[in-house]
Amino acid sequence: MGSEQLNPLFETKKAKGSILYRIFAGTVFLGICLVWYYRVRNIPSKEEDGRWVWIGLLGAELWFGFYWLFTQAPRWNKIYRFTFKERLFTRYKNDLPGVDIFVCTANPAIEPPLMVMNTVLSVMAYDYPAEKLSVYLSDDGGSDVTFYALMEASRFARHWIPYCKRFHVEPRSPAAYFALKPNLDQTKAYAAIKNLYEDMENRIENANNLGRIPEEEQFNHKGFSQWNSYSSRLDHGTILQVLINGKAPNSIDIDGCRLPTLVYLAREKRPKHPHHFKAGALNALIRVSSKISNGEIILTLDCDMYSNNSLSVMDALCFFMDEEKGHDIAFVQFPQNFENITKNDIYSSLLRVIMDVDFHGLDGFGGPLYIGTGCFHRRDTLCGKKFSKDCKFEWTRNDDYKIQLNIEELEEETKPLASCTYEQNTKWGIEMGLIYGCPVEDVITGLSIQCKGWKSVYFNPERNAFLGIAPITLSETLVQHKRWAEGDFQVLFSKCSPAWYAHGKISLGLRMAYFVYGLWPPNCFPTLYYSIVPSLCLLKGISLFPQVSSPWFLPFAYVISASYICSLAEFLWCRGTILGWLNDQRIWLYKRGTSYVFAFIDTISKMLGFTNSTFIITAKAADEDVLKRYEKEIMEFGASSPMFTILATLAMLNLFCFVGVVQKVIMKEISFRFFEAMLSQIILCGALVLINLPLYQALFLRKDKGKLPGSVTVKSFALALLACISFTLLY
């Protein structure tokens, strides 16, 4: 130790160029003020055309302007983090804390057990002392196939972990590793391990396809008897099985080294008791694990997020264990990354700018949101502990008592902690553990932790720490975003609302950032207005923007071009492509037209007590056919849905308006003055048509199964026509 102790375990650097950015942002804001001024001063009088349309546009521009101000918060004070793992290792080699890893799965049909096992294996193989590592799988599907798969994985782990350590394998998800075709692929060891993996793969896939476990296995393992009283996914008792007891002397791999503890849990579910989805699952895990391993650090992971870096635990610990600055850090969030992103990311799943810009800014204001997966927590803070200046963390807890218990006794003693009545009349879900009742249990829990005085850290290393599976159809993407938008919106009205409760508890910048995401749903209205009304007004010749020759045209042009150029530059800086940026714009438009509208409506109806929260799980497997189109970056529509009807109608409406104007220009029906007055609207409408090109293709040209169904074509055509005709006649 000695002088080493003075060296920090992590360092923080401020982003460069923030002064320049602030000046730039100042000029844009000036432009926005001028736009507002122009709108207010030029409201048409009662007799003139377009008074209400104009006032509506003023509303939309006021909204966009204020929203833009909020989006500046995450750009104001960006910071980057760097860790020194070697220092951690030399200093704490023998005193590393226990780490419990929670993997959640819920449905073997859309979350294939083999994928889940790859995630489990990747984290079991972390470069971390095995006796301090425990992996828990929560199975909300209560599926014996998943249990069987985990049993298979526990056997394979005895070979896989020593193989990873011997050859310094990376990544440690076997499927991802074999897909890489590593250099070792000629060696005997490689062939042997690959064979073992393929055997396991076959057995798991077979069981999954048949929905049944091989009979001899059922006899051999007592764990299966727990399914005897099982009636359905939503009606069964607690199933708890310690598959590897890391404390037992015989839990060793083929090299004789110790194995991490591995536990399967399907908490009790009864139709009459709300189970609170993933939040409920995590809380059950927190309690159950406290009896078994009680690790001081908890990593929560979605079942598709395998570890892509075997040293991530060490990275996270550098923050928690830093002697000087670690004491107030409650959680360390890694970005969400995916293994199945195509070059131009057609559904914009990476959320590049949020992950590579926003979250660094949030970190500068006290810490990023907790986004559910790839996040390390202190057990105590996740359980609701408040921050105080003299909080001290003891890293070497004495928990030898558990070794004395026989594992069966331990299981029986622990089961009641996962029963569905355990939480009655307790603070679980309210002040302890993950918070219930919000579709984004993660974000609201993170906020409540921050409100208790804790900080969080965003760590975005060069090599991705985790890789998951992004949705590969448009409708999955839109439904996922509906859940997020709805959840973030509800956070604004929740008990720990950034609007009032968080005042004085977290920084103003962080509160503003919560608003950026929380206000996604209401954003739909001004966006819809902007993408419908100016286009319709083209048909009637109602001019809504200053003429090109007027000096007032300048602030409009400046605000729009500056913000788009800046957005493109940011996107490219985040290693995106130009096409990727266009895709990103399209997806934002589509989300605003659908996900956010539905999120808004559902939130209101939930507040009025008409509906309850649900959690629609994102699929992680797909048809060959769908997958092929995804790889070719062809947008997937498929079945008809109200969301698609809205999108198609909007696209059609803009097409009609645009064609209408172009026709007038060609027929020389309009004067140059008219053209000049309408140019902004023509550009806006034209841009909307351009961005919708893939949609027109899906409506009219494509023949594959992913095109838009004929019924949507008919509906959207009729609706758009109706809108155009009624606007021209009535207005």
Ligand X SMILES: O=c1ccn([C@@H]2O[C@H](COP(=O)(O)OP(=O)(O)O[C@H]3O[C@H](CO)[C@@H](O)[C@H](O)[C@H]3O)[C@@H](O)[C@H]2O)c(=O)[nH]1
Tell me the binding residues for UDP-alpha-D-glucose: 111, 140
The distance of closest approach from Cβ of residue 336 to Mn ion in the complex, given in angstroms and rounded to an integer, is 8
The distance of closest approach from Cβ of residue 354 to ligand X in the complex, given in angstroms and rounded to an integer, is 13
- Token pair in block for residue 7: 């060296």
- Give the residue at shortest CB distance from Mn ion: 618
Query: Does 622 participate in binding ligand X (rule CB under 6 A)?
Result: no
Query: Does 480 participate in binding ligand X (rule CB under 6 A)?
Result: yes
DSSP-assigned beta bridge partners for residue 11: 82
Residue selected from 105, 308, 595, 716 as contacting ligand X according to rule CB under 6 A: 105
**Binding positions for ligand X, 559-618, rule CB under 6 A:** 615, 617-618
Question: Pseudo-torsion of CA 502, 503, 507, 510, nearest 10°?
Answer: 50
Count of beta carbons in the 10 Å neighbourhood of residue 55: 14
Give the x/- contact pattern for ligand X in 422-441, rule: CB under 6 A.
-----------------xx-
The distance of closest approach from Cβ of residue 389 to ligand X in the complex, given in angstroms and rounded to an integer, is 32
SS3 243: strand
Query: Does 442 participate in binding ligand X (rule CB under 6 A)?
Result: yes
DSSP structural state of residue 112: -
Residue selected from 142, 237, 368, 372 as contacting ligand X according to rule CB under 6 A: 372
Query: Does 140 participate in binding ligand X (rule CB under 6 A)?
Result: yes
Whose Cβ is closer to Mn ion: residue 161's or residue 341's?
A: 341
Residue selected from 300, 618, 649, 681 as contacting Mn ion according to rule CB under 5 A: 618
Binding site for Mn(2+), by residue number, is 278, 302
The distance of closest approach from Cβ of residue 480 to ligand X in the complex, given in angstroms and rounded to an integer, is 5
One of 140, 315, 322, 584 is an active-site residue; which one? 140
Measured between alpha carbons, how far is 469 from 644 in angstroms, rounded to an integer?
A: 23
With CB under 6 A as the contact rule, which of the stretches 246-254, 418-426, 481-489, 603-611 interacts with ligand X? 481-489
Whose Cβ is closer to ligand X: residue 303's or residue 626's?
A: 303
Q: Which does 144 bind (CB under 5 to 8 A by kind): ligand X, Mn ion, none?
A: none
The distance of closest approach from Cβ of residue 575 to Mn ion in the complex, given in angstroms and rounded to an integer, is 22
Binding site, by residue number, is 111, 140, 278, 302
Spacing of C-alpha 372 from chain mean position: 7
CA nearest to 681, candidates 544, 532, 528, 586: 544
Query: Does 134 participate in binding Mn ion (rule CB under 5 A)?
Result: no
One of 144, 304, 442, 488 is an active-site residue; which one? 442
Q: Which residues contact 258 (CB under 8 A, 6 or more apart)?
A: 130, 131, 246, 251, 252
CB 473 within 8 A of CB 708: no
CA nearest to 643, candidates 616, 680, 606: 616
Count of beta carbons in the 10 Å neighbourhood of residue 549: 9
Query: Does 465 participate in binding ligand X (rule CB under 6 A)?
Result: no
Measured between alpha carbons, how far is 143 from 149 in angstroms, rounded to an integer?
A: 10
Give how many residues touch ligand X by CB under 6 A: 24
Measured between alpha carbons, how far is 492 from 237 in angstroms, rounded to an integer?
A: 36
Query: Does 104 participate in binding ligand X (rule CB under 6 A)?
Result: yes
With CB under 6 A as the contact rule, which of the stretches 105-113, 154-162, 532-540, 685-693 interacts with ligand X? 105-113
Query: Does 241 participate in binding ligand X (rule CB under 6 A)?
Result: no
CB 621 within 8 A of CB 476: no
CA angle 57, 63, 64 (to 5 degrees): 90
**Binding positions for Mn ion, 285-314, rule CB under 5 A:** 302
Give the x/- contact pattern for ligand X in 300-319, rule: CB under 6 A.
--xx----------------
Measured between alpha carbons, how far is 454 from 451 in angstroms, rounded to an integer?
A: 7
Query: Does 149 participate in binding ligand X (rule CB under 6 A)?
Result: no
Residue selected from 373, 414, 603, 654 as contacting ligand X according to rule CB under 6 A: 373
Measured between alpha carbons, how far is 698 from 688 in angstroms, rounded to an integer?
A: 16
Told to judge if 140 belongs to the known catalytic residues of this protein, a careful annotator would answer yes
Whose Cβ is closer to ligand X: residue 123's or residue 720's?
A: 123
CB 494 within 8 A of CB 438: yes
Told to judge if 328 belongs to the known catalytic residues of this protein, a careful annotator would answer no
Torsion sign (Cα): 108, 114, 120, 123: negative
Q: What are phi and psi of 623, to 5 degrees?
A: -55, 150
Torsion sign (Cα): 324, 330, 332, 333: negative
Q: What CA–CA distances, in Å, run from 700 to 301, 630, 638, 704?
A: 42, 20, 14, 11
Contacts with Mn ion by CB under 5 A lie at: 302, 618
Contacts with ligand X by CB under 6 A lie at: 104-106, 111, 138, 140, 277-278, 281, 302-303, 371-373, 439-440, 442, 480, 483-484, 487, 615, 617-618
- Which residues belong to the active site? 140, 442
